[in-house]
C-alpha cells in the first residue's frame, strides 16, 4: 500500500518561493497516490522525465478487456476510491504477484476527509470471472496471468469492490523495490511506537527488527521489513503499521526540501517508472492534487477489518487446511455498510 499511485518550470530560488503552495500540493499527492510517493514535475528539464515516467506506470485501457459478469456498485459522485496494492514484484518467483498489502484510500470531496481502509490478504472470496474461491490477495496474480498488468489491476478492483461495496475508481500497485528506494531517497522516515516492537521469527537472522518505544528513524530496508512483519504480531497489526508508515512518508515529504532538489526528483521518478503500475489518467492526478492540499491528519479515518468484535471477520480453514478469513454472517453486508458510511 500503492501500487501503493510527476513538476514545473525553472528551478531558480526566487521562482520556487513564489510557487511554493503549488509544489506542496504535489508533494502531498505523492502519498495520496501510492504510499511511497508520486512526485509530479511540471517544467524545465523535468517535463520530459515526468511524461516518460507516467507512460511507464500507466497501463492500457481496461474497458472491454474482460467479460466479467459481476455487477459492481455505482460510483459515488462525492467520493473517489483508490485501491493501493503492495506486492513483492513480478521478478519474485515465490508469490511475487500476491498483493499482501491491500488498502482503499477513500476521499470525500465535499468535506476534504480521507479514509484508509485495510483489507486482510486472507479474506476468502469468489474470484472475479470464476466459479471458485481464493484468498483476495490472489486476484492480482489471476488477472496478471490472463491479461498482464491491466488485467491484474482490473481483477483486484473488482474483488475489492465486491467486498467493500465501494466503486473503485482507480488502482495503484507498488512493489517492494519502489517502496524501499523511495524511503531511502527521502532520507528515511520517523515513526513513534507506543510500545517496543521486535520481529525475530519471520526473516533471516541477519534481519531482526528490534525497535524501542518512542521515536524511531527507519531507512528503506528497515521500513520495508517493519510493514511486512507479522509472525510476532498478526496480519491485522501489520495493516495498522502500514497505515502508520503511509502517514510517516507523507510527513517526511512535507518536511524535506525534495521539491527543490531535482536530483531527488529524478531518482524518485526512475524508481516509480520501473516499479509502479496505475490506471489514473494524468488529468485526474491533477484534479486529485488540488483536493489533496486540504487534507490533514486530523481528517483521516482509519479502519482495519480483523477478528475482533468490531472487525466483522472470523477465522476458518479450507478443506485443505489453509487459514482463511470469512465475514461475520457469511456475507459482506456489514463490511459494505461500514465502508459506505465510513465518514458518518
Tens-digit pLDDT profile for residues 212-257: 999 999 999 999 999 999 999 999 999 999 999 988 887 776 666 6
Residue 4 lies in a domain: no
Range of the domain at 262: 13-340
Does the model's pTM come out above 0.95? no
Residue 121 lies in a domain: yes
Given this model, what pLDDT does residue 167 score?
95
Residue 2 lies in a domain: no
Would the pLDDT of 143 be above 90?
Answer: yes
Given this model, what pLDDT does residue 285 score?
74
Which own/partner contact pairs does 23-27 have at CB distance under 8 Å and 24+ positions apart? 23/259, 23/260, 24/254, 24/259, 24/293, 25/289, 25/290, 25/292, 25/293, 26/259, 26/289, 27/253, 27/254, 27/258, 27/259
Given this model, what pLDDT does residue 39 score?
39
Among the listed ranges 109-113, 198-202, 219-223, which one has the minimum average pLDDT value? 109-113
Q: Are 268 and 185 in contact (CB under 8 A)?
A: yes
**What CATH number should be reported for the domain holding residue 155?**
3.40.630.190
Q: Are 246 and 238 in contact (CB under 8 A)?
A: no
Given this model, what pLDDT does residue 36 score?
37
Residue 82 lies in a domain: yes
178-183: average pLDDT: 92
Count of structural domains within the chain: 1
Residue 311 lies in a domain: yes
Residue 62 lies in a domain: yes
Given this model, what pLDDT does residue 44 score?
45
Given this model, what pLDDT does residue 252 score?
76
Residue 8 lies in a domain: no
Task: Kindly state the cell numbers that stand for 290.
Answer: 488540488
Would the pLDDT of 42 be above 50?
Answer: no
Q: Determine how many CB atoms are found less than 10 A away from the CB of residue 75.
A: 13
Given this model, what pLDDT does residue 158 score?
94
Tens-digit pLDDT profile for residues 263-321: 887 888 899 899 999 998 887 877 776 666 556 556 789 999 999 989 999 999 999 99
Would the pLDDT of 23 be above 80?
Answer: no
Would the pLDDT of 17 be above 50?
Answer: no
Q: Are 162 and 133 in contact (CB under 8 A)?
A: no
Rounded CA-CA distance 125/128 in Å is 9
Residue 112 lies in a domain: yes
Helix (H, G, I), strand (E, B) or coil at 316: strand
Tens-digit pLDDT profile for residues 132-141: 999 999 999 9
Burial 115-144 (b: 16+ CB within 10 A, else e): bbbbbbbbbbbebbbeeeebbbbbbbbbbb
Amino acid at each position: 500500500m500503492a501500487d501503493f499511485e510527476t513538476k514545473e518550470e525553472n528551478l531558480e530560488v526566487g521562482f520556487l518561493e513564489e510557487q511554493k503552495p503549488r509544489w506542496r500540493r504535489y508533494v502531498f499527492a505523492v502519498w495520496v497516490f501510492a504510499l511511497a510517493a508520486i512526485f509530479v514535475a511540471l517544467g524545465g528539464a523535468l517535463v520530459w522525465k515526468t511524461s516518460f515516467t507516467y507512460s511507464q506506470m500507466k497501463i492500457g485501457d481496461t474497458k472491454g478487456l474482460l467479460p466479467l459478469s459481476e455487477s459492481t456498485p455505482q460510483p459515488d459522485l462525492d467520493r473517489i476510491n483508490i485501491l493501493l496494492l503492495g506486492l513483492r514484484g513480478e521478478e519474485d518467483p515465490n508469490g511475487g504477484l500476491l498483493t499482501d498489502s491491500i488498502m482503499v484510500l477513500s476521499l470525500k470531496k465535499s468535506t476534504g476527509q480521507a479514509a484508509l481502509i485495510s483489507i486482510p490478504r486472507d479474506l476468502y472470496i469468489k474470484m472475479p470471472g470464476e466459479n471458485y474461491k481464493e484468498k483476495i490477495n490472489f486476484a492480482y496474480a489471476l488477472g496478471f496471468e490472463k491479461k498482464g498488468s491491466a488485467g491484474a489491476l482490473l481483477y483486484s478492483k473488482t474483488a475489492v469492490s465486491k467486498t467493500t461495496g465501494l466503486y473503485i475508481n482507480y488502482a495503484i500497485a507498488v512493489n517492494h523495490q519502489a517502496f524501499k528506494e523511495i524511503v531511502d531517497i527521502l532520507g528515511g522516515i520517523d515513526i513513534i511506537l507506543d510500545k517496543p516492537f521486535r520481529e525475530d521469527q519471520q526473516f533471516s537472522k541477519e534481519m531482526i527488527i528490534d525497535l524501542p518505544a518512542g521515536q524511531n528513524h527507519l531507512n528503506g530496508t528497515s521500513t520495508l521489513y517493519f510493514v511486512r512483519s507479522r509472525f510476532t504480531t498478526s496480519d491485522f497489526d501489520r495493516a495498522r503499521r502500514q497505515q502508520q508508515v503511509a502517514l510517516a512518508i507523507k510527513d517526511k515529504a512535507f518536511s524535506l526540501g525534495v521539491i527543490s532538489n531535482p536530483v531527488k526528483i529524478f531518482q524518485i521518478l526512475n524508481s516509480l517508472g520501473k516499479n509502479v503500475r496505475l490506471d489514473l489518467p494524468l488529468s485526474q492526478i491533477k484534479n486529485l492534487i488540488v483536493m489533496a492540499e486540504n487534507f490533514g491528519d486530523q481528517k483521516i479515518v482509519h479502519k482495519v477489518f480483523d477478528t475482533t468484535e468490531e472487525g466483522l471477520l472470523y477465522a476458518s480453514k479450507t478443506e485443505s487446511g489453509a487459514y482463511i478469513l470469512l465475514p461475520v454472517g457469511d456475507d459482506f453486508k456489514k463490511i459494505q455498510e461500514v465502508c459506505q458510511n465510513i465518514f458518518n
